[in-house]
């Protein structure tokens, strides 16, 4: 199954702040790791104020890095061939880092494939969408790529 990924992070090469996976079948995962000390101005202005800007039905899971790895493992459990789709290489890098529980130990995922599509998911017609919120951005990516696939 395909899962659409977005992350928010503290500037390029910065710490992971939030990660969202949205399956093509519907279920979603939204993890918030927290804003690191000394956030870059963009994060202060555009990411931090929007971390909780998701519909009430979306569970915001505040996690440590190791807890996040277990959450991703549980979310993908049962899918023998998960494929994660992103629109930017840093999303893939940060997702791979998020799978590491500690040095030398990763989440129990046997197989994982990544795909990058160089597209901009905005503008979107998703009601209530909030750009620079990982959950909304992953939802917008799913909508954009679903539309392109049906053409």
**pLDDT tens, position by position, 89-123:** 999 999 999 999 999 999 999 999 999 999 999 99
- Among candidates 63, 9, 39, which has minimal Cα distance to 29? 63
CB-CB contact of 10 with 30 (8 Å): no
Distances (CA, A) of 97 to 63, 101, 104: 14, 9, 12
Rounded Cα–Cα distance for residues 126 and 15 (Å):
28
pLDDT digits (tens, 9 = 90+) for 35-91: 999 999 999 999 999 999 999 999 999 999 999 999 999 999 999 999 999 999 999
* Residue 83 dihedral angles phi and psi, to the nearest 5°: -125, 120
Give the span between the Cα atoms of 113 and 100, in whole angstroms.
16
- Encoding tokens for residue 64? 């440590």
CATH of 2-149, one of 1.10.1040.10, 3.30.420.40, 3.30.420.10, 3.40.640.10: 3.30.420.10
What is the structure's pLDDT at 146?
A: 82
Query: How confident is the model over 6-29, as pLDDT tens digits?
Result: 999 999 889 999 999 999 999 999
């Amino acid at each position: 199954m395909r899962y659409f990924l977005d992350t928010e992070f503290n500037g390029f090469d910065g710490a992971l702040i939030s990660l969202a996976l949205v399956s093509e079948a519907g279920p979603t995962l939204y993890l918030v790791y927290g804003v690191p000390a000394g956030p870059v101005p963009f994060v202060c202005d555009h990411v931090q104020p929007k971390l909780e800007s998701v519909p009430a039905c979306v569970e915001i899971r505040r996690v440590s890095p190791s807890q996040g790895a277990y959450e991703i493992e549980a979310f993908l459990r049962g899918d023998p061939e998960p494929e994660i789709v992103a629109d930017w290489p840093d999303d893939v890098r940060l997702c791979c880092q998020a799978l590491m529980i500690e040095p030398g130990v990763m989440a129990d995922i046997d197989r994982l494939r990544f795909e990058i599509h160089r597209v901009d998911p905005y503008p979107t017609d998703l009601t209530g969408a909030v750009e620079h919120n990982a959950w909304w951005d992953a939802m917008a990516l799913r909508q954009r790529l679903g539309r392109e696939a049906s053409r």
